[in-house]
Amino acid sequence: MIGPDNGKLGKPRTAMPPAAGGSINGMRVLMALLLFVIAVGAIMGVVVALSSGQPTVALIIGLVAAAFFARVGC
């Protein structure tokens, strides 16, 4: 059975739609996970240092972590 235009059904869709890539990028997800792990490590470092009775080390860890995240954020 032949339809209009001699049976052609149109172009096959081989490419993704324009919004398929979106803002979810694998590299951004990986960087977000890395920043989350660094933040958790910094918080745990401060907690462990304080619970061990070393407030100076906790202060140093907190300052370095704050400087790191201030640099990342700006």
Question: pLDDT tens across 4-50, in order?
Answer: 556 566 666 666 666 555 667 788 889 999 999 999 999 999 999 99
Distance CA 32, CA 37 (A): 9
In a domain, 44, yes or no: yes
In a domain, 62, yes or no: yes
Instruction: Label residues 27-47 b or e (16+ Cβ within 10 Å = b).
Output: eeeeeeeeeeeeeeebeebbe
User: Which pLDDT does position 16 carry in this prediction?
Assistant: 64
Residue 3, pLDDT > 60, answer: no
pTM: 0.64
Task: Supply the range of the domain harboring residue 53.
Answer: 40-74
In a domain, 46, yes or no: yes
Please tell me the total count of domains within the chain. Answer: 1
In a domain, 34, yes or no: no
